[in-house]
Structure 1
Amino acid sequence: MSDTAPPKKSKSRLKKILILSLALIVLAGGAGGGILYATGGMMRHSGPAADPNVPQLVPRDGVSSYAVDAARVEAARGRIDPRLFQATYLPLENVFTSNLQAGDAFVQIGIGVSTYYDQRVIDNVQRHEMAIRSAILMTLAEQDPAQITTLRGKQALKIALRNAINNVLTNREGFGGIDEVYFTSFVTQ
């Protein structure tokens, strides 16, 4: 009698080779995908496109697009790297004079603002200047005269003013965009 069936060793050997080959392909694909993800190779094409109606960060000249893309991710978390983006400054016209919290003291300040976003933020500040001036005066009226004479108090006031301005812009335009407030003059009495 002749035996026409192949030996069992050969079938099991072929099965092992196929499984091993498949495992190597899966490992190589996973490693390649992991490397692309880790180096940011897939980052540029993932996620929704930027909304053209929202102001965009303005990169400095000579900054690589990869650095800008990575910095935009951080900026979305509230951390803007000033070395990578161009600031635009706008002094607000006229000084602000307000009584302080105690009633007898007053403050007179000049301020300017800056943004790392495009011209739309500056246009929004100019468009809503009356509402912004009102918010600044209301913020000043809440200040303690003893506090704002200290460095720490002035820094806290700058943050409060920035928040007041951004609240007006967000309520009116859907986007704040003011990154810093600067004092151009500061008198208390």
Structure 2
Amino acid sequence: MADATANAPAKKKGGAVKMVLLLVTGAGLAAGGFFGGKYFAESSMSPADEVLRLIEETNMQTADMGEDGPMKVSKEMPDEPVFVTQYFEFPEPLTTNLKGSSRFLQLGIGLSTQYDEAVLNNVQNHEMALRSDILAVLSTYTETDVEGTEGRDRLADELLKVVNRRLEKLEGFGGIESVFFPTFVMQ
């Protein structure tokens, strides 16, 4: 008899209770995940709006501090208009010989303005005349005139004057504020 009890399989105790607890816990976690996901997915605010809302709540809480803590003073934004810079790049580079040299200069030229699109439309409409004026100026420069950043800056200033002068003559208003060289090759 002693052998019969020693070889007998052990009874499982509380197996049904553990199974029920596991199922209830799993169902609770699944339901929590479902409703949490649904809550966050249905938020009508973009992430940026949500951050701004949280910042405003934080500011309201800290503004109520009074004597116990620092008071935050909100700054008003100035009502100055913001101007958008617009750019125009001549579709093809300009190539010319340098004065007194066998070398040539090839430039890509870009223009910028903060005025409306009418200025850039004027540039497009009179592109041929502007290219001619720019080439006339470029042909007066020597190798040493265009070397270095100072030489390029002087060239850009001269081209700015020439472009605005031509636009004023043709349209009554220049409006170009800067000249840029996206490409600058001297060979």
TM over 0.5: yes
Q: 2:123 — aligned with what?
A: 125
Counterparts of 1:29-178 in structure 2 under 5 Å?
64=79, 67-68=80-81, 84-178=82-176
Name 2:180's counterpart in structure 1: 182
TM-score, normalization by structure 2: 0.57
TM-score by structure 1 length? 0.56
Amino acid corresponding to residue 158 of structure 2 in structure 1? A
Considering fraction of residues, name the structure with more helix: 2
Q: How much is the aligned-residue C-alpha RMSD, in angstroms?
A: 1.4
Give the partner amino acid of 1:138. Answer: A
Cα distance between partner residues in 1 of 2:108 and 2:186: 12
Show CA shifts across 1:134-183 (max 9, x none).
01100100112112011100000011111111111011001000000111
Larger radius of gyration, structure 1 or 2? 2
Percent of residue pairs bearing the same amino acid type: 39
Letter of the 1:92 partner, please give it. Answer: F
Asked if structure 1 preserves the Cα contact closer than 8 Å seen for 2:101 and 2:143, the reply is no
Give 1:136's aligned amino acid.
I
Unpaired runs of at least 5, structure 1:
1-61, 69-83
* Alpha-carbon distance in structure 2 between the residues aligned to 1:63 and 1:90: 30
Which secondary structure state, in structure 2, belongs to the residue aligned with residue 159 of structure 1?
helix
State the distance in 2 between where 1:135 and 1:86 align.
Answer: 27
Query: d(CA) in 2 for partners of 1:161 and 1:188?
Result: 18
Count of matched residue pairs: 111
Q: Which runs of structure 1 show a deviation greater than 6 angstroms over 4 or more consecutive aligned residues?
A: none
How far is 1:63 from its partner?
6.2
